[in-house]
Amino acid sequence: MLTVAIPKGSLLKDSIASFAAIGLDFSAFLEKGNRQLQITDPTGQAKAMLVRNGDVPVYVESGQAHVGIVGYDVIREKKPQVAQILDLGFGGCRLSVAVQKSSPYQSALDLPAHSRVASKFVQCARDYFRELDLPVDIVPLYGSVELGPITGMSEAIVDLVATGRTLKENGLIETDLLFESTARAIAHPLSYRLNTYGLSDRLRILKEQLANN
């Protein structure tokens, strides 16, 4: 049976709408009080697993899910061996460098060498500063990264920005844009090539629908 990995959290609702557009109904995940992590489409054509956004590529890479939806930021950070099929357009945000508004830094290049940069996007941050040829210490923080500059733990952060409200509330401003991110449909390369359970057909339909909207 076609198996899909759907991300919990902010991408959930639009992900379910994307599958609905190609005839697969996983709306049971949206029901209040739902505790199920695996459901089957009412027509019995496919099943879905509800997993963390960051875990989606792991399921797809291993072939345990044939297709999944995940933020581009995760793809950039984890570099999974999956086929990147479609930009779904929703879930827009950006990965940015931010510093304290009161600091003298107007871009990442203004940071003193060996500054500390807090981020949960350790690889992306490392790659970005390496390209700038600016040696910094990346401090891995997995929650409330904005505390970094406030507490003096780090001179800057690299973090996802959607509305910018969290930055503003914490007196931070963006200086550099690493990349823009949106939700992507990813597939297990072999399943996609072999059109397993009509996977590539369905994704082609989804692509056409996106183009018409």
DSSP string, 100-113: ETTSS-SSGGGSPT
Can you tell me which of 55, 110, 127, 174 binds its own copies, judged by CB under 8 A? 55
Kindly indicate which of the ranges 59-67, 90-98, 122-130, 175-183 contains the residues binding its own copies, using the contact rule CB under 8 A: 59-67
Hey, which residues between 100 and 119 contact its own copies (CB under 8 A)? 116
Site for its own copies contains 62 (CB under 8 A): yes
Hey, which residues between 118 and 157 contact its own copies (CB under 8 A)? 139-144, 147, 150-153
Pairing of strands 172-181, 183-187: unpaired
Size of the site for its own copies (CB under 8 A): 26
Give dist(CA 129, CA 4) in Å, integer.
Answer: 35
Categorise residue 164: left if φ over 0, alpha if ψ from -120 to 50, beta otherwise: left
Tally of residues, the chain: 213
On whether the CB atoms of residues 7 and 75 are closer than 8 A, the answer is no
DSSP 59: H
DSSP 24: -
Binding letters toward its own copies, positions 7-36, x by CB under 8 A = -x----------------------------
Site for its own copies contains 60 (CB under 8 A): no
Q: How far is the CB of 81 from its own copies (least distance, A)?
A: 13
Cβ closest to its own copies, residue 2 vs residue 49: 49
Tokens matching residue 49: 């697993």
Q: Which stretches of the chain bind its own copies, using CB under 8 A?
A: 3, 8, 37-38, 49-52, 54-55, 58-59, 62, 64, 116, 139-144, 147, 150-153
